[in-house]
Amino acid sequence: MDFQEAIESAGRVVDAAGVFAVVIGALLAAIFAATRLIRHQSDVYRQFRRFLGRSILLGLELLVAADIIRTVAVTPSLESVAVLAAIVVIRTFLSWSLELEITGKWPWQKGKEADEPKGADV
């Protein structure tokens, strides 16, 4: 196995980890939500969305990492770097949107922890 094949394999593994994170996160979010519904706990929907959103964010981060690995290490042409830049911009926008949906704050507003209600984390 040469270097290019090894990098391509590493990219596929990280890609698979990203998909795995989203799928397993969605399943766990559904299981936790069902358990909370059965127990008649409050705020089930918000907690489901928060858990699912975090799973999607983790998956997106891994998918971006896989794209970077494959694009920069395997095919470093100007066209592939431009495609990577577009993918990163789109996924960054998605990540920021999900973060805003989950926490109600933009990622750069994380230092304002005193504003969050206690026990809000899932």
Average pLDDT, the chain: 83
pTM (predicted TM-score)? 0.72
Higher pLDDT, 121 or 24: 24
* 108 alpha carbon, distance to own chain's centre: 17
pLDDT surpassing 60 at residue 80: yes
Mean pLDDT of 77-87: 83
- 9: region left, alpha or beta (phi > 0 left; psi from -120 to 50 alpha): alpha
Which structure tokens are listed for 100? 């805003």
Buried/exposed code over 60-72 (b: 16+ C-beta within 10 A; e: otherwise): bebbbbbbebbbe
pLDDT surpassing 80 at residue 57: yes
